Structure 1
Amino acid sequence: MSGTMTEVYGGVWNRLRRDLFLVAMQLAAKTPLGMARYAFEQTAFYRRLYGRPPAEFESLPLTLKKELGSADPYDVLADAMRDQVALYGETTGSTGYPTPSFFTTREFHGGRALARITPYIGLLDGIMAENRAVVNGLTFGFTVAGMTFGDLLGSLGGVVANVGTRSTIATPERMARALRRLRPAVLTGTPIDILSWLRIVKEDTPDQYPGLLEHLKLTLSTAELCAASRSRAISKEFGFKHIDVYACVEGFFSLPCPCGEKHVLPIYHPEVFDERLNRVGTRGEGRFAYTNLLKKSSPLVRYLLDDFVTIADSACPYGFTASIEPHGRWELTVVLNGRRMGVRHFEEAIFSHGLFGDYRVVIEDDRIRVTAEEYGAHDSRETMARALSDVFGQRTEVELVPFGTITKYREIRQSKPILKIEDRRSTSTQVIPEYL
C-alpha cells in the first residue's frame, strides 16, 4: 500500500507531510466536552443556551440554525478572539436563517493544510507544474467558498483569477470570457455553473472551445450537492477530472479522496440523529450535527447542520477511517416505499444515464415525473423511464428538454436551485421552508 500511497500523493514528502498534519490536528483538537466548556466560557450565545457549565457532552442541547441565525453575530464570537478575527462570513440563508461565522487569519488559511492532506495532492501538483492558470468561479460575498478555494489554489502555486459568480459583475458571459482568455488548467464552480460557462464558450466562440478543453484538467465543485454519478458523467463528457467537495461556511470540510469517498477528519466530532432528534451515534444514517474541535473564533458545538447524511467507517486504502455521504437537506427529503430519500438518491439514478443540465422531479400519488435538460451523451427517454421506474418502485415518466429550459444559463442565478424534488402526494412528509 505504501507504494500506491506514494504514487498518488506525488512523492514521499507529500505523504509524510500528510501524516504530520494529521498528527498536528489531533494534538491541537479539543475533546467534545472541552470545546463545549470553551464555548460556554467564551461566548454569550452558549452561556444562554447552556445556562451552566457543561458537565456531560451528550446531554447538551443541539445548536439549531434558527437560534444561531437569529442571534447577534457578536454573541457567537469568542471573547478571547475578538482582537484576532479578520474575516466574517455567513451562509447564503436560503432557508431564512443565515448563520454567522468568524475566522482568524490562521483559521481561514486552514484550507491550505486540507489541500495537502488529500491524496489528490499529487494530481494537483502535476497540473500546476504544467499550467498554473486557475479561474475561480465560486461565489464571493458573505459566503467564504470563493475566497477559501482561491486561497487554497493560490497556496498550491496557482495564478488565480477570482472571477466569482451569481453577481452583476461576474455574469455568465463574463465567466466564459475569462475562460477563453486565460485557458485555465483548473476551474471552480457549482456543477450547473460549469456546464453553463462551457456551453456559452462552445456556442459563442466554437473555434476556441477545443483549446479551452485541451488546457482544462480539473474542475472543483462545492456549495451545491453533486452525486457521484453526476461527477463521473461530467468527467466522461469533457475528459477532465471533476471533484466535488462537501463543505459548509460554518466550518465543516470533508476530504474528497480517490477511493470515491468523502472523509471526516479528526478535527470534527460528527453525530447522527433520527427524525425526532434522538441520537443515533457517531455513525449511521440520519440528521447531521457536528462539533468543530479546532475552530475557536466562533465555536460550534453539536451544531445541527440538518443535512441528511450517512456516516460510516471507511476501509480507505490511504488510511482515512470515516466517510460521510450527503443526501441533501433533511426537510426536503421524501419517503418512498418506506425508504427515506434525499436529492442525492434521485440525482444518482438520473445521472447514471448520462450527462444532463438541471433537472426537477415531481412525485405524485400515481407517478413520478422527471424533467431533465439535455446536455451531453445520455440514454433514451424510454430506457430512462423503465430503469427509473424500477429504481423508485413507481411508474416514472421522463421528459427531456433543451438545456436552459429549467435554469437560464445566460442569466445571473440569484439563489441556489434547492427545491429539485417536490413531493405532491397526499401522504407527503416533505417540509418546504417558507422563506424558500
Structure 2
Amino acid sequence: MITKEYSEIHRARFGYLMKRIKNSPLYRSKLDGMELSGVTLEDIHRLPFTTKKELREAGQWGILAVSKKDIAQYHESSGSSGIPSIAWFTRNDLIRGGTQLRRTGNGLTSNDLVLNRFPYALSLPAFYIQEAAWQAGAGIVPSSSRNTITHYPKVLELISQLECTVIAGLPREMELLAETARLLGIDCKSSFPHLRAIWVAGELFADARKRHIENLWGVPVYNFFGSTETGNIATMCSQGSLHISEKDFHLEMLELDSPTPVEYADLGRLVVTTLSHEGSPLLRYVNEDLVNIRTEACSCGHTGRILTHYGRISDLFYRNGVYLTAKDIHESIYSLPNVPAAWNCLQTADGLEIRLDVSDGSLNIRETEERLASSLQLAVNVVDQSGMLLDPAQLTQQEASRKPVYII
C-alpha cells in the first residue's frame, strides 16, 4: 500500500531507482534480459527478490552503484546472525539518514549534548546519530562502546559532568549502564537531572523492554528500526509507534512460509526496496525480519503507516500450531516483576529453557516458571544462573587503555 500523501514522490523515486540500479554489478547481472522500460511501482511484483545470500556472494564491490569518488563511508553489521552484511553510503545517504532520525518523538535542538554510545567502528548507527545531531546544531560526546577507553564508569561520569541531555546506543548498553550505576550506588533517575531522552537501535525493542529501560532511567526512550544494508526505515514517535519513512522506502510483506506477498497480515517477512539510497540500492530485499505493517491514525498526528518488529525469522519458534516470536519472549521476560540483569533461552523438546541472572539473587524459580509458562503458553524450565551470565567486575572496571610512553 502506498500512502496518498507520498504517492507521487514514491513513484518518481522508484523510477529514478530503476534507472540507476544497473550501475550495481549485482543488479546488472540479476536484471539482465528483463524488459524494464516503462516499469512502474505498480509493476514491482514482477521484479525479482534480492536475498541476503545474494548480497554476500556479490561481495563488497558487487553491490556498489556509484563511482569510488562518490563514496563517503563503508559499513558492516556486527554479524550477530552470521556473516556481516555490508553497505556503501554517499554523503547524501548519510545526510538523509540523519534527517530521518531527527523525526523522532523528542527531536534535537542546538541546546542538546548527545552522548553517542554506539560503536564508532564499521557499524552504521553512530554516524547517523552524529549526523542528526550536527544537523540540529547539537553537540556530540563520542563514547563508543566495546572499547577500553570509555568504560562504563567513565560513561556515567561523562553523562553527569557534561550534563548530557540525550544518550544514544544499543538497548543492551542502556541496561548495562544502569546496572553499573546500581553497583556503584548511583540512582539513574536522580543523578542525571539534565538527561531528557534515550535513543536506541540495533536490537529487538519490545514494548515491555521500552518500559523497563524508561523505569531504570526515568526518561522516555525512542527506538529506530533499520539495518546496515537499508539504513533507517522507521522512527519512533512520542506515542511509541514506529513510523515508516515512506519517501525513502517501499515495503512489502511475504507470507511466513512462501514468497507470496500479502498486504495485510498479523505477521509477515519484510521486503525492502530502498528508493533513495545511492551507494548500494536494494530492490525487493528480503531482510529476514518479521514485521507487521498497518495503516492507522496515530495520536502524534503522523498519517503514514506503522511498523511493529517481531524479531528475526531465524528466532521464530513453532509449536502446537502457534508461532512464537522473539518479541513474544522479550515481552514475557521484560514483564517479570524482577527483570533479570542478563538472560538467554533455547528451545527444548518440551518448550523453552530460560536462563536468568537476577542481580540481587532473589529469583523464585517456581513462581517465574509459572508466570512465563502462562504468558508464553508453553512449558518453561527456568535455570538460575545468577552471577554467571553477567560479570559485575567487568562492568565496574575502570582501568582504561593508555597511549604507550616512549620517553620516561
Give yes or no for TM over 0.5. Answer: yes
Partner of residue 330 from structure 2, selected from 316, 332, 347: 347
The equivalent residue for 2:132 is 152
Of the candidates 313, 319, 322, which is equivalent to residue 336 of structure 1?
319
CA shift digits 1:51-107 (9 cap, x unpaired):
22435521322111122123232232224x543221111222233332321212121
Any idea what the Cα deviations from partners look like across 1:119-174, whole Å, max 9, x if unmatched? 433xx44xx64xx3321101221111111112213333332111111234443344
Distance in 1, matches of 2:321 and 2:250, equals 30
- Partner AA of 1:238 in structure 2: W
Residue 122 of structure 2 is aligned with which of 107, 128, 142?
142
1:258 aligns with 2:238: yes
Q: State TM-score, norm by structure 1.
A: 0.78
Equivalent residue in structure 2 for 1:66, among 53, 59, 66: 53
- In the alignment, what sits opposite 1:394? 378
The corresponding residue for 1:233 is: 212
Match of 1:108, SS state, is helix
1:191-210 equivalence runs, <5 A: 191-204=171-184, 206=185
Percentage of pairs with the same residue: 20
Aligned counterpart, 1:163 = 143
CA deviation profile, 1:325-350 (whole Å, cap 9, x unmatched): 11111122111331222211100122
Q: Which residue of 1 aligns with 2:74?
A: 88
Once the two structures are superposed, the pairs formed by residues 35-74 of structure 1 within 5 Å of their partners are 35-40=17-22, 42-53=23-34, 54=36, 55=39, 56-74=43-61
Give structure 2 stretches of 5+ with no counterpart: 396-408
1:212 maps to what in 2? 191
CA drift of 1:232 comes to 0.7
Q: Given the superposition, is the C-alpha separation of residues 397 and 100 from structure 1 closer, same or farther in structure 2, using an over 3 Å criterion? A: closer
Q: Is the 8 A contact 1:307 1:329 kept in 2?
A: yes
Instruction: Check if 1:244 corresponds to 2:226.
Output: no
CA deviation string 1:16-36 (max 9, x = no partner): xxxxxx979963764546524
Distance apart, 1:245 and its partner CA:
1.6
Question: How far is 1:397 from its partner?
Answer: 3.5
Q: Which amino acid aligns with 1:365?
A: A
Corresponding residue of 2:346: 362
- Deviation of 1:230 after TM superposition, in Å, equals 0.9
Q: Structure 1 regions of 5+ residues with no counterpart? A: 1-21, 413-436
Whole-angstrom CA distance in 2 between matches of 1:211 and 1:393: 39
Find the partner of 1:313 among 295, 298, 304. Answer: 295
Task: Give the 3 Å change call, closer, same or farther, for CA 324–408 of structure 1 in structure 2.
Answer: farther
Question: TM-score, normalization: structure 2?
Answer: 0.83
Preserved CA contact (<8 Å) 1:287 1:309:
yes
Report 1:118-129 matches (<5 A): 118-121=104-107, 124-125=108-109, 129=111
Mapped partners of 1:209, 1:308: distance in 2: 33
Q: 1:48 to 1:292 in 2, by over 3 A?
A: same
Q: 2:261 aligns with which of 280, 283, 286?
A: 280
1:269 correspondence with 2:250: yes
SS at match of 2:192: helix
Structure 1 residues 88-97 or 392-401, which shifts more? 392-401
Between stretches 173-182 and 376-385, larger displacement belongs to 376-385
Q: Is the 8 A contact 1:78 1:299 kept in 2?
A: yes
2:372 aligned counterpart, secondary structure? helix
**Does 2:82 correspond to 1:102?**
no
Tell me the distance in 2 between the aligned counterparts of 1:343 and 1:410: 30
Whichever residue aligns with residue 178 of structure 1, its letter is L
Contact 2:233-2:249 within 8 A present in 1 as well:
no
After TM superposition, give the deviation of residue 46 of structure 1 in Å.
0.2
CA gap 1:275/1:184 in 2 versus in 1, 3 angstroms: same
Residue 336 and residue 263 in structure 1: after superposition, are their counterparts in 2 closer, same or farther (change >3 A)?
A: farther
Report how many residues are paired: 381
What SS does structure 2 have at the residue aligned with 1:278? coil
8 A contact 1:163–1:175 mirrored in 2: yes
Native 8 Å contact 1:235 1:242 kept in 2 = yes
Letter in 1 for 2:69: D
Amino acid at match of 1:225: L
Provide Cα deviations, 1:340-379, integer angstroms capped at 9, x if missing partner: 2221110012212243322112332234332233359999
Q: Are the structure 2 counterparts of residues 377 and 409 from structure 1 closer, same or farther at C-alpha, using a change threshold of 3 Å?
A: closer
- Aligned partner of 1:12 in structure 2 is none
Q: Separation in 1 of the partners of 2:173 and 2:158?
A: 14
Aligned to 1:309, the other structure's residue is in SS state strand
Distance 2:200 2:222 in 1: 6
